[in-house]
Structures are given as C-alpha cells and as structure tokens.
Amino acid sequence: MANTVMMSKLHAIRRQEQITAGIFLLPAAILLLFVFGYPIVRAFWLSFFAKNLATKLQPVFCGLDNYARMVGDGHFWQSFWIATTFTTASVILELLLGLGIALVLNQKFWGQGGVRTIAILPWALPTALMGLAWAWIFNDQFGVVNDILLRLGIIKTGINWLGEPTLALLATIFADVWKTTPFISILLLASLQSISPDLYEAHAMDGAKPWQSFYQITLPLLAPQILIATLFRFAQAFGIFDLIAVMTGGGPGGATEVISLYIYSTVMRYLDFGYGAALMVVTFLLLVLAVASASFLLNKSRIAAK
C-alpha cells in the first residue's frame, strides 16, 4: 500500500520534472522553429509556385513545373557537377592532409603548442577576406604564385590562374583545402589523443611494425571521427558560397559556378523566386540524403566495432 503511494508520488515528481524540462526547452524550440523550420517550409511551399518577372513577382501556383524545368536546365546540371567535383576533390585532399598533420601534431616535439596554434589559424580567419586574399595571390599580373614560379624559372609568362576554366577551379579547391584542412586535423588530433599508448606498446611487443599499428589500431579507432569529419566537410563544401563568390564570382564563364552561386543568381539576378526555391529544395534533399546515408554507415561501423 505504502509502496504504491510512493510510486505514484514518484510518478508525479517525474511528470513535474518533465513539464519543467519542457518549459525550459520551449524558448530554444521556438527559436529553432523560426530559424530552421519556417524557412524550410516556406521554401517547399514556394517551390510549387511560379513567382518571377513573367508573373510580375506575384506567386502563381504551377504544381511541379519548377521541378520539371530543372531536368532540362543545362545550367543547373553544370553547376551541380562543378559543385560535386569541387566537393570530392577538396574533401579527399583535406582528409589526407588533415590526417597527416594530425599524426605529426600528435607527436611530442619542441614548440608543439605554438605549431598547433598556427596550424588552426587558417580555419579561424574569416572566409570572405581569405577569398579576397587568394584572388590576389592568384592574380595574373601581381600575384605571388606567378611571381614565385617566374623566379624559379618554371614558367616564362604569368599564368592567368583565375581566367582559365580548369585552373580557376583548381585555385578555388586549393584555397578551400588551405582553409579547412585545420578543421579536420584538429578533429582527428583530438581523437588520436584519446587512443591509449598502451595499445601501441602491446602491439609493438607482439612484433608489429609502426605501419601495421597505423592500419590495425589508429585507422579503425579513428574511423568514426573520419566519417564525421567527412560528413561535416561534405555538407559545407557542397554548399560553398563565400569563398568562390569572392575569389572568382563563379567565373570564368561559369567554370567555378557551384550550385549555391547558381541559386543566388536565380533569385537575386533573375528574380526567379519560385524556381530558386525548387533548386534549394532539391539541394537540401540531396544533402539530407547524403548525411543520412553517411550516418547509417557510421552506426553500422560502430556496431561492427562492438
């Protein structure tokens, strides 16, 4: 009898706590609703309307017309492939470099603290300003890159880095790798430090060589972090705007026009709000899909590790 009273009291207290927790969470939930929920729902809604110059900027319902138009839109596919190329190249390079840097920084050496601070510096600098800096570094007349290559005698005349389609894309990838490799190396460094040195000691006693330890201990234990880092970088790189907008503006001739720049043009230059919303929705869904499948992989690898 007393026991059931206790139980119901406990229940009451627990419910009370849940309500309190709910009240405390409410402001954050409302904020999220306005900051994330509203724009997403609004973009979905708008993507079923024609709202552009032909309709005098008034929304006119058009069903799935905007999505049908996307299929035959060469510009969309071009920017989509450029974004994919950019993302793939920069994420792979960043992972390799980031892992290398993390392994070096994990070693004990003199001035380690200073080097670690410097290593994260590019990531801490504002992207738009760095875009401008890189545009000057790659400038065909006054750029540092051409100056160095000319002095070394590798080239005879200055290369117009940002004026040639392939070179311009390479230059933006280079700048992005420089900017965001530190993010990956810091993330990986943190998890490297959580790996117990005992493991390596025991492994070495068993007669394993350092590269065997790397493959058999370091990489498997780092796998979840690598996947998380890739996920973060993938989402960021695919939606990159500021760096490229400042460095090349999408040029020359659209060679570096990634999808977010195309969406920007569609909305801001062409004033095609409905179609812009449809582009945004598709990009959003693709990203969600990519992130979801990656986290599915992550879960699977965790289960496998256990």
* Residues near another protein, by CB under 8 A: 52-54, 56-57, 69, 72-75, 78, 163-164, 251-254, 265, 268-272
Would you say the C-alpha torsion 263, 267, 269, 275 has a positive or negative sign? positive
- By beta-carbon proximity to another protein, the closer residue of 210 and 253 is 253
Cβ of 126: how many Cβ atoms within 10 Å? 9
Give me the least distance between CB of 258 and another protein, in Å please: 16
Q: Which residue lies nearer to another protein by CB, 163 or 224?
A: 163
Q: How far apart are alpha carbons 205 and 185 in whole angstroms?
A: 29
Largest Cα separation within the chain, whole Å, is 96
Q: Which residue has the tokens 């070495």?
A: 204
Closest distance of CB 21 from another protein, Å: 17
Other CB atoms within 10 A of residue 175 CB? 25
The pair phi, psi for residue 49, each rounded to 5°, is -120, 150
Task: For the CB of residue 73, give the shortest distance to another protein in the complex, in Å.
Answer: 7
Q: Report the residue number, 234 or 275, with the smaller CB distance to another protein.
A: 275
* Residue 101 or 245 having the CB closest to another protein: 245
Minimum Å distance from CB 187 to another protein?
A: 36
Least separation in angstroms between CB 264 and another protein = 9
Residue with smaller CB distance to another protein, 35 or 268: 268
Nearest distance from residue 254's CB to another protein, in Å? 7
CB of 249 to another protein, least distance (A): 8
Q: How many CB atoms lie within 10 A of CB 217?
A: 17
**Residue 53 or 204 having the CB closest to another protein:** 53
Cis ω on the peptide bond leading into residue 252 (within 30° of 0)? yes
Q: Between residues 143 and 250, which has the closer beta carbon with respect to another protein?
A: 250
Is the CB of 75 or the CB of 300 nearer to another protein? 75
Find the shortest distance in angstroms from Cβ 270 to another protein: 5
